[in-house]
Amino acid sequence: MSESNIPTNQWKLWEVFTQKKSGLPHEHAGSLRAPDAEMALLNARDVYSRRNEAVSIWVVPSECMVSSTPEDVGSFFDPANDKLYRHPNFYKTPDGVKWTS
């Protein structure tokens, strides 16, 4: 994802997400520049799937992406740190009980 602050005479930046095969999640493949969504999709196919690497592609304008920041990583994810009881291995079953999960 670009963090560029320099004014640009280039086309809009797009983030490309590809799905390898149906049933799998879409994953970030990279970015590219294109004047509109239609061209972004065509370019994404030519740049990121020349060898059937994708069965589905999403393109999103980079300016629409919102993300967490590395500086805040500690406090941002902190709420999950002290909740071991959210995991099944927090709980013990009585001896002799067979537990399959």
Partner 1 sequence: MIATDTERELEFQAKIDRGEVIEPKDWMPERYRKQLIRMMSQHAHSEVVGMLPEGNWITRAPSLARKAILLAKVQDEGGHGLYIYSAAETLGIDRGEMIDQLHTGKAKYSSIFNYPTLNWADIGAIGWLVDGAAIVNQTALAKCSYGPYSRAMIRICKEENFHHKQGYQMLAYMMRGTKEQQEMAQDAMNRFWWPALMMFGPSDTDSPNSAELMRWKVKLHSNDDLRQRFIDRTVPQAEAIGLKIPDPKMKFNETTRHYEHGEIDWQEFKNVVSGNGPCNRERLRARVKADTDGKWVRDAAEAYAKKHMN
Footprint (CB under 8 A) of partner 1, residues 7-36: 8-11, 13, 30-33, 35-36
Whole-number Å distance between alpha carbons of 54 and 51:
8
> Which of 4, 21, 24, 76 forms a contact with partner 1 (CB under 8 A)?
4
Smallest distance, Å, CB 12 to partner 1?
9
Q: What's at 3, amino acid-wise?
A: E
What secondary structure does DSSP assign to 9-67, as a single string? Answer: -SPPEEEEEEESSTTSPPEEEEEEE-SSHHHHHHHHHHHH-TTS--SEEEEEEGGG---
Whole-number Å distance between alpha carbons of 54 and 49:
6
Q: Please give the size of the binding site for partner 1, defined by CB under 8 A.
A: 27
Per CB under 8 A, 1 contacts partner 1: yes
Per CB under 8 A, 3 contacts partner 1: yes
Binding site for partner 1 (CB under 8 A): 1-6, 8-11, 13, 30-33, 35-36, 38-39, 46-47, 50-51, 67, 69-71
